[in-house]
Amino acid sequence: MSSDYTVSAKARADVGKGASRRLRRLENEVPAIVYGGENAPQMISILHKDLLWFLEDEAFFTSVVTLDIDGKQESVVLKALQRHPAKLKVLHADFLRVDANTKITLHVPLHFLNEESCVGVKTQGGNITHAATDIEVQCLPKDLPEFIEVDMAAVETGVTLHISDLTLPAGVESTALALGEDHDQAIATVHAPRGGNDSDDEAASEEE
């Protein structure tokens, strides 16, 4: 459960909306909270510029992070993030404590591969639409993937890929599939070109 990210933070005692606004405006820091495990939730603050720098790396969202709070280190994952609706500004962050022997639930991004060489696109003239950009998984911290690959190379027009079509890393399971087949969410579809294809025209002619 090693971490490539170490985030420096400070414990804070002032709570409430007023204290958070002052923290953002006067100290240029982001109010945050650490919770989970056997310890009580702890209010902290992180320099805004530091947090923004980490957030530029997609892998930060799906990594076990070392949170250094006034010299005391804890292993956490970023659980939630509140951003300003119009400015490049982080308003609040939630961090969840993790334990090597306890499974965690987190959203992991999907990386779509071979879209340009996809059979349904390159030879059948179709186009790809994404129904999801991430999926929720459950696993031990050591098994947490940075992303999950979706290989589109062999997908033909009219075909929709679902979560059940993905190859998940060892030790990783989809929380949706754990609920049953009815929760097998669509991931991507290769649509036929507008106007249909030759097979569609032939079928229509036969019906007439």
CA distance 152 to 129: 11
Confidence of residue 132 (pLDDT cuts 50, 70, 90): very high
Nearest CA to 49 among 94, 99, 90? 90
Q: Which pLDDT value is given to residue 9? A: 96
CA distance 152 to 122: 11
Q: What is the mean pLDDT of residues 112-134?
A: 96
What percent of the chain lies above the pLDDT cut of 70?
Answer: 91
- CATH 2.170.120.20: which residues of the chain? 104-198
In this structure, which topology does domain 6-97 adopt according to CATH? Ribosomal Protein L25; Chain P (2.40.240)
Nearest CA to 187 among 153, 151, 154? 151
Q: What is the mean pLDDT of residues 161-170?
A: 97
What percent of the chain lies above the pLDDT cut of 90?
Answer: 79
Look at residue 18 and tell me whether its pLDDT is greater than 60: yes
Nearest CA to 113 among 158, 167, 185, 76? 167
Q: Which pLDDT value is given to residue 200? A: 47
CA distance 96 to 75: 8
Q: Which pLDDT value is given to residue 188? A: 98
Mean pLDDT of the chain: 90
Q: Which pLDDT value is given to residue 3? A: 62
Domain 104-198, CATH among 3.40.50.2000, 3.40.50.300, 3.90.440.10, 2.170.120.20: 2.170.120.20
Query: Is residue 13 within 8 Å of 43, Cβ to Cβ?
Result: yes
Residues 6+ apart with CB under 8 A from 45: 9, 10, 12, 23, 27, 29, 30, 31, 32
Predicted TM-score of the model (pTM)? 0.83
Confidence of residue 201 (pLDDT cuts 50, 70, 90): very low
